[in-house]
C-alpha cells in the first residue's frame, strides 16, 4: 500500500468525533509521525468554533511530526454529509448546518481534501489495514452510543444517490418496537445501541437487580459506559449479561439482513460495545446470522472484530486522500 | 440501446419460471420477432425433463421468428444459482441440483449464454427498458407467491460474494414473527407474500367475513390469486383490503430499509400483487417509506411500478447477452 504515495509525501488523517477530535500526520507508509487529540469542546474556551479547533489540532499534529510539507487531508465526520462536495449537512453536536468543511480545510492548508462519513471512513480503514483487505464486498457495523455502518462493494465505499448510504442503525427490525432518536420505531439503534442497553441496565440497577452497576454507575444512563457494563458482566451480573446478549443478537439479525441483501464476503464488527465485549458480540452475532441469514449467502462469510480501535478513522481517511492524490 | 447489437443480429431471452417457461427471439432493437411459451410441466408428458422442454421452446421461438441465426441466449432462472458459471444450485420446483444450465444451452445451440436469477433479470429489464434507466442505483422488489429483489449499483447488478445477493424477501422484519418457507421467522416473505395474504384472506372467508372470496375462491389458499383478491377489494370487502394493505405496508418497510442501507435513486415495484393492485401498493409503500426511511435518504427517490409485465425477464435476459456479445 506504500505505492499510493511517494517517499517524502505526508498526509493528514482527521477524525472529527462528537466528543473528540484527532489528527494524525502519516508518512508514505501510513506510519503515524505526529498526532494531536482534543475534546470536541474546549472546557477553557467553550465558545471556540469547532472548525477553528479542528484547524488547530491539524497544525499541532504537523508540528509534532516535525513540520513536513503535507500533500492532502482526509477527514471522517459525523453525517449526514455529501462526500462529493465535503459539505456537512447537519451535525447538531458540532453546530454545523450545510457546513463546507472540505473547502475550509482546503483554503486554510492549501491542499486537496476529502471528507466522508466517520463510520464509512472507519470501515474503509479496517478494510485497508485490517483483516479483510482481500475482500471485494465488506460490511462494517459499529454499535456504540449509536449504531453506524459502512458498505464496501467492488472495493469501493457505497455512497448511493444521497451520498449517505449505510444507515444500518435505522433499519427497522421490530415494526412496533421502541422509539428511536430518529423519530421512527423499532430501529436497530433503538433496540441495540449503548443507550438501549443502558436504559435496561439502569432499570435493573434501580430495581436492585444489578448491584455492581448500582454501586459503580448509579441509575443515570449517562454513566453506563461500555466498559462498566462489561465489568458488571465479569462480576457475575447475569441479568446485565442477558440484556447485552439480547442487544448483540439484534445486532446479529441486522448483520444477517445485510448478508441476505448484499452477500458480502466479510463483516467487520467494531464500536465501543464490541471493543468492550468482543467475545460475547462475536458469539451472539454468529448465532443470529446462523438463524437469520440464508445458508448459501452466509456460507464462508468472515465475521471479524475491528482491529484498529481509535485509529480506524484517521487511517481510513489518510488512505482515502492518498488514493485521491495518486489518481490525479 | 440498439448499438449493442448489429442489424441482423438476433438474440434469445429466456424466462424459466416455476410455473411457466417463455422464450423470445429479438432483433437488434430488442423487438420480439418470435415467441414461445409453455407450462413448466407438460400435462401430456409429465416425465419430460425441464431442460428438454426449455430447449424445445427456444427452438419453437426461433422457428416462429423465421429461423434467423441467433448470436446468444440470456436466461433468467429461479435461484440460488451462480451467474459466473451458469450453474443452478437448487430449484426444487424444476428438480435441478447443481445443474449446468448455461453449459447445456451453450452446447445445444452453439452460442454464448448468460444465466442469472430471474428477479435480478427482471429488475435489469425494468432498468434497461423501463422508467428508471437513467438511474445509477436501483432496487427492484417483486411481491408475489414469494418476494424477490434485484439490486443495481453503479449501473451493474449486485451479485456479491455468493453470487446470490438480493434476497430481500428473507429480510427479518419481526424477530418473533410468523414462520417462513426458508425455516426462519419474521421474514418479509412470511409477512407479505401472496401466501401470507392468502392465509389471512382464507381465514376471513372461513369465518364468513369475506363472502366474495368464499364464493369465488372457497377457503383453499391455492385459489387465492392476486386477481381474485383485487376483485374482492373492488367488491367492497374491507377486511380483505386491510389484510392486503398491511402486507403492502410491510413491503414498504422493507423498501425503507433498503433505502436506509443502499440509498438508491429509484425503486421498482413489480410482481403479481403489485400488478393486480398497483395504486394500493404505491400508496402503502410510500406511506411506509415516509415513516421508516430517513428523510435525507428518501428525498427525491422515485418509487415506480414495473411496466414490462411478463416480458421483464426475457427483455432483461436478452439485454444481458447482448452486452456480453458486444463486450467480446
SS (H, E, C) chain B: CHHHCCCCCEEEEEEECCCEEEEEEECCCCCEEEEEEEECCCCCCCCCCHHHHHHHHHHHHHHHCCCCCEEEEEEEECCCEECCCCEEEEEHHHCEEEECHHHHHHHHHCCCEEEEEHHHHHHHHHHHHCCCCCCCCEEEEEECCCEEEEEEECCEECCCCCCCCCCHHHCECECCCCECCCCCECEHHHHHCHHHHHHHHHHHHHCCCCHHHHHHHCCCHHHCCHHHHHHHHHCCCHHHHHHHHHHHHHHHHHHHHHHHHHCCCEEEECCHHHHHCHHHHHHHHHHHHHHHCCHHHHCCCEEEECCCHHHHHHHHHHHHHHHHHHHC
| Shared-domain flag, residues A94 and A227 | no
In a domain, B217, yes or no: yes
Mutation target to probe the B interface, by most B beta carbons within 10 A, among A123, A166, A257 is A257
Q: Is the CB of A261 less than 8 angstroms away from the CB of B174?
A: no
In a domain, B31, yes or no: yes
pLDDT at B48 over 90: no
Q: What is the pTM of this model?
A: 0.94
CA angle A61, A66, A67 (to 5 degrees): 75
| Shared-domain flag, residues B169 and B33 | no
| Shared-domain flag, residues B316 and B290 | no
Whether B7 contacts chain A with CB within 8 A: no
In a domain, A129, yes or no: no
Confidence of residue B45 (pLDDT cuts 50, 70, 90): confident
Interface of B with A in 138-197 (CB under 8 A): 149, 151, 153-154, 156, 158-168, 170-175, 182, 184
Nearest to B172 among A153, A253, A265 (CB): A253
pLDDT of residue B1: 47
Nearest to A258 among B136, B163, B261 (CB): B261
Number of H helices and E strands in chain A, helices first, is: 12, 13
In a domain, B129, yes or no: no
CA distance B160 to chain A (A): 5
CA nearest to A191 within chain B:
B175
Q: Is the CB of A172 less than 8 angstroms away from the CB of B292?
A: yes
Q: Which helix (H) or strand (E) holds A153?
A: strand A147-153
Confidence of residue B42 (pLDDT cuts 50, 70, 90): confident
Longest CA–CA separation in chain A, Å: 62
Radius of gyration of chain B (CA): 20
pLDDT of residue A114: 97
Which single residue is written with the C-alpha cell 494531536?
A36
Q: Which residues of A touch B171 (CB under 8 A)?
A: 257, 260-261
In a domain, A222, yes or no: yes
In a domain, A101, yes or no: yes
pLDDT of residue B113: 98
- Grid cell at residue A217: 454507575
Q: Is the CB of B160 less than 8 angstroms away from the CB of A262?
A: yes
In a domain, A321, yes or no: yes
- Grid cell at residue A27: 508518512
pLDDT tens, residue by residue, B202-228: 999 999 999 999 999 999 999 999 999
d(CA A241, CA A213): 12
| Shared-domain flag, residues A103 and A210 | no
Q: Which residues of A touch B250 (CB under 8 A)?
A: 175
Q: Is the CB of A168 less than 8 angstroms away from the CB of B250?
A: no
Nearest to A182 among B136, B163, B294 (CB): B294
Residue of higher predicted confidence among B93 and A106: A106
Q: Which residues of B touch A165 (CB under 8 A)?
A: 261-263, 297
In a domain, A207, yes or no: yes
Q: Is the CB of B297 less than 8 angstroms away from the CB of A167?
A: yes
**Percentage of chain B exceeding pLDDT 70:** 99
Q: Averaged over B298-312, what is the pLDDT?
A: 96
d(CA B57, CA B276): 28
| Shared-domain flag, residues A24 and A145 | no
Q: Averaged over B15-31, what is the pLDDT?
A: 93
What ipTM does this complex have?
A: 0.94
CA distance B195 to chain A (A): 20
CA distance A277 to chain B (A): 23
Nearest to A162 among B173, B174, B297 (CB): B297
pLDDT tens, residue by residue, B62-75: 999 999 999 999 99
Q: Is the CB of A261 less than 8 angstroms away from the CB of B162?
A: no
- CATH no. for residue A94? 3.30.420.40
pLDDT of residue A145: 87
| Shared-domain flag, residues B162 and B279 | yes
Cα-based distances in Å from A198 to A173, A213, A221, A235: 19, 10, 5, 17
**Percentage of chain B exceeding pLDDT 90:** 87
Nearest to B296 among A80, A173, A264 (CB): A80
d(CA A318, CA A309): 15
Give the pLDDT of chain A (328 residues) as one tens digit per residue.
448 999 999 999 999 987 899 999 999 999 999 999 999 888 888 888 889 999 999 999 999 999 999 999 999 998 789 999 999 988 877 888 999 999 999 999 999 999 999 999 999 999 999 889 999 999 999 999 889 999 999 999 999 999 999 999 999 999 999 999 888 999 999 999 999 999 999 999 999 999 999 999 999 999 999 999 999 999 999 999 999 999 999 999 999 999 999 999 999 999 999 999 999 999 999 999 999 999 999 999 999 999 999 999 999 999 999 999 998 7
| Shared-domain flag, residues A178 and A315 | no
| Shared-domain flag, residues A113 and A187 | no
| Shared-domain flag, residues B37 and B53 | yes
Mutation target to probe the A interface, by most A beta carbons within 10 A, among B92, B171, B188 is B171
CA distance A91 to chain B (A): 13
CA angle A92, A96, A101 (to 5 degrees): 140
Interface of A with B in 33-62 (CB under 8 A): none
d(CA B268, CA A226): 42
Q: Which residues of A touch B170 (CB under 8 A)?
A: 260, 294
Q: Averaged over B150-154, what is the pLDDT?
A: 97
How does DSSP assign A232-294, residue by residue? HHHTT-HHHHHHHHHHHHHHHHHHHHHHHHH--SEEEE-SHHHHHTHHHHHHHHHHHHHHHS-
Q: Which residues of B touch A258 (CB under 8 A)?
A: 261
pLDDT tens, residue by residue, B4-19: 999 999 999 999 987 8
Number of domains comprising chain B: 2
d(CA A244, CA A277): 9
| Shared-domain flag, residues A72 and A170 | no
pLDDT of residue B328: 78
| Shared-domain flag, residues A20 and A139 | no
Q: Averaged over B174-184, what is the pLDDT?
A: 92
pLDDT of residue A1: 47
| Shared-domain flag, residues A47 and A139 | no
Q: Which residues contact A15 (CB under 8 A, 6 or more apart)?
A: A21, A22, A23, A75, A76, A118, A121, A310, A313, A314, A317
Domain, as residue range, for B194: 134-306
Q: Is the CB of A172 less than 8 angstroms away from the CB of B173?
A: yes
Question: Pick from B99, B96, B129, B93: which is nearest to B13 by CA?
Answer: B129
Amino acid at each position: 500500500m506504500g505505492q499510493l504515495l511517494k517517499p517524502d509525501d505526508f498526509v493528514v488523517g482527521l477524525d472529527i468525533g462528537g466528543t473528540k477530535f484527532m489528527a494524525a500526520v502519516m508518512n508514505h507508509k501510513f506510519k503515524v509521525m505526529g498526532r494531536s487529540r482534543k475534546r470536541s469542546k474546549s472546557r477553557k474556551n467553550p465558545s471556540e468554533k469547532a472548525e477553528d479547533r479542528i484547524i488547530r489540532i491539524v497544525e499541532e499534529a504537523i508540528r509534532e511530526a516535525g513540520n513536513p510539507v503535507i500533500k492532502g487531508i482526509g477527514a471522517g465526520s459525523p453525517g449526514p454529509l455529501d462526500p462529493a462536495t465535503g459539505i456537512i449537512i447537519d451535525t447538531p453536536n458540532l453546530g454545523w448546518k450545510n457546513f463546507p468543511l472540505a473547502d475550509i480545510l482546503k483554503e486554510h492548508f492549501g491542499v486537496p481534501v476529502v471528507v466522508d462519513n466517520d463510520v464509512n471512513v472507519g470501515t474503509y480503514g479496517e478494510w485497508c489495514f485490517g483483516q479483510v483487505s482481500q475482500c471485494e464486498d465488506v460490511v462494517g457495523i459499529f454499535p456504540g452510543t449509536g449504531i453506524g455502518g459502512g458498505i464496501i462493494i467492488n472495493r469501493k465505499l457505497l455512497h448511493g444517490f444521497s451520498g449517505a448510504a449505510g444507515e444500518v442503525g435505522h433499519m427497522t427490525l421490530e415494526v412496533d418496537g421502541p422509539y428511536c432518536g430518529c423519530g421512527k420505531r423499532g430501529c436497530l439503534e433503538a433496540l441495540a445501541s449503548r443507550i438501549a442497553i443502558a436504559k435496561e441496565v439502569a432499570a435493573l440497577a434501580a430495581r436492585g437487580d444489578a448491584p455492581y452497576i448500582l454501586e459503580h454507575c448509579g441509575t443515570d444512563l449517562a454513566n453506563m459506559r461500555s466498559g462498566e457494563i462489561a465489568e458488571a458482566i465479569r462480576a457475575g451480573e447475569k441479568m446485565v449479561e442477558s440484556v447485552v446478549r439480547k442487544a448483540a443478537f439484534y445486532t446479529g439479525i441486522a448483520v444477517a439482513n445485510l448478508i441476505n441483501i448484499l452477500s458480502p464476503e466479510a463483516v467487520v464488527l467494531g464500536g465501543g460495545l464490541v471493543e468492550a465485549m468482543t467475545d460475547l458480540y462475536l458469539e451472539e452475532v454468529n448465532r443470529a446470522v446462523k438463524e437469520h441469514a440464508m445458508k448459501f449467502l452466509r456460507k464462508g462469510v468472515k465475521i471479524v472484530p475491528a482491529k484498529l480501535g481509535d485509529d480506524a478513522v484517521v487511517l481510513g481517511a489518510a488512505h482515502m486522500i492518498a488514493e485521491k492524490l495518486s489518481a490525479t
